[in-house]
A and B are shown apart, each in its own frame.
Chain A
Amino acid sequence: DAGITQSPRHKVTETGTPVTLRCHQTENHRYMYWYRQDPGHGLRLIHYSYGVKDTDKGEVSDGYSVSRSKTEDFLLTLESATSSQTSVYFCAISESTGGGYEQYFGPGTRLTVT
C-alpha cells in the first residue's frame, strides 16, 4: 500500500462547512497528489505537491486548497463545502525510480455533502 493512509475514510458534512482531508505517507516520497473520482469522469487531479510548501493546481482546483508543511502530510481543504464536491477523494504518491515514476494511491475518503 506504499505506506499511504487517509483520514477520515468517510465523512458526511453540510453545505457551507469547511472540511479538511489528510493524507499521510511514511516513506518520504517527494510527490503527493489529490484526486477526486466521480462516475463517468475517472480520476481528476485537484492539486499536487512536489515538495514541502511547493504545490500546484490540477484540472479541478476551484473550491479546494492544499498545504504541505511536512514531507509526510498533504492536506486538502474545502473552504465551504458544496454538494458538487460530494465524491471519493484519493491521495497518491509518486517517486522517481531511475527512469520510472510509478504512482500509488491511498485507500480513499468518501465525502458526502448534504
Chain B
Amino acid sequence: GENVEQHPSTLSVQEGDSAVIKCTYSDSASNYFPWYKQELGKRPQLIIDIRSNVGEKKDQRIAVTLNKTAKHFSLHITETQPEDSAVYFCAASLLSGTYKYIFGTGTRLKVLA
C-alpha cells in the first residue's frame, strides 16, 4: 500500500541552530503535503502545508520544500527555540480528490537550551 517514510525519528539541536526533517511518499497522485506539530498530550496542529504546484513555501522561521520528481518533501526550522520542541508529522494526500491522507511516523525534535 501507499506509505510515507519520515526521517529522522529523533533529532536534537542546539537552540538557534536549524532543524531539517525529511519525508518520502509513494503515491504519485499525492498533491497536498501538510506538516503538523504535536506537543505532549495535545492534538496535532497544522503548521504549514504545500501543494504540488509549488516548490517551496515559507512562514517566518519554518519552510517546506517539495521535490515531486523525487517524491520527497522537507520541513526546515531556522533559529530554533525551546518551544519548537515537539513531535512533528508529515502527511501526504492520497488519490487526488478523495481528501484522505497518510501520515509519517513522526520526528521528536528536542531543542537544547
Residues on A facing B (Cβ under 8 Å) = 31, 40-45, 48, 50, 56, 58-59, 90, 94, 96, 99-108
Contact = CB atoms under 8 A, between A and B. Distances in A.
Contact of B101 (A103, A106, A108): A103
- Secondary structure call for the B interface: strand
Given A31-B99, A42-B89, A99-B51, A104 B46 contact: yes
A103 B102 CA distance: 12
Contacts of B101: 45, 103
B8 interface: no
Interface residues of B, number: 21
Contacts of A102: 34, 46, 49
B81 interface: no
Contact of A42 (B32, B99, B104): B104
B103 interface: yes
B103 A42 contact: yes
Contact of B100 (A42, A58, A108): A58
Contacts of B104: 42
19 contacts: A41-B105, A42-B89, A42-B105, A43-B89, A44-B103, A45-B101, A48-B99, A59-B1, A90-B44, A100-B32, A100-B51, A101-B32, A101-B93, A103-B34, A103-B91, A105-B43, A105-B44, A107-B43, A108-B43
A43 B46 CA distance: 14
Contact of A103 (B1, B46, B51): B46
Given A42-B89, A105-B45, 7 more contacts: A31-B99, A42-B104, A42-B105, A43-B44, A43-B103, A45-B100, A105-B44
Nearest to A91: B43
Contact of A100 (B43, B49, B89, B106): B49
B5 to A, nearest CB: 11
